[in-house]
Amino acid sequence: MNLHKIFALTTLILTAALLQACSGSEGTDTQANASAPEVFIVSPLDGATVSSPLTVEFGIRGYTLAPAGTQDEGTGHHHLLIDTPVPALGAPIPADDNHRHFGKAQTFTELELEPGLHTLQLLLGDGNHVPHSTPLRSEQITITVVAEALE
């Protein structure tokens, strides 16, 4: 395992431990938000410097991943927005290089990105690729892609 992967794994473990420690705090807002459905980018982390190709891992809580076409309540599939704002929420999510669909309920992807700054954001879509009436979208993260592999 190279140094970059060890650092990323250590950071992920420490972040998970910190989130676990903070989740025990008392308060109505914390308890109400603990059960709220959400999607999030597990890795890379916001502000990360990575090389291409890179693996983007998706996370979800409070909903069940299901393939496109599934119309069951509380289900959906990921759409990765790359260097683009959130599209119109009442219409199907576009399918192009900036709006990647994961209609087989995938939980990660490998991306080839040019060197430079890039933004990534998840948006959950229903069986017809339309955002839910209460949209489930992650925070937008920014990453820097470098030309050579990190060691």
pLDDT of residue 103: 96
pLDDT single digits (tens) 62-83: 999 999 999 999 999 999 999 9
What CA–CA distance (Å, rounded) separates 29 from 57? 28
- pLDDT tens digits for range 124-144: 999 999 999 999 999 999 999
pTM value is: 0.76
Closest CA to 39 of 142, 135, 133: 135
Give the helix/strand (H/E) hosting 116.
strand 116-125
Instruction: Using the predicted structure, report yes or no on whether residue 118 has a pLDDT greater than 80.
Output: yes
Say what the pLDDT of residue 138 is. Answer: 97
Residue 148: predicted pLDDT: 72
Contacts of 55 (CB under 8 A, 6+ apart): 43, 108, 109, 110, 111
Q: Would you state the pLDDT for residue 30?
A: 37
What architecture (CATH level 2) is domain 37-146?
Answer: Sandwich (2.60)
Regarding predicted confidence, which is higher, 113 or 151? 113
CA 61 distance to own-chain centroid: 12
The domain spans of the chain are 1-36, 37-146
Q: What is the pLDDT of residue 98?
A: 97
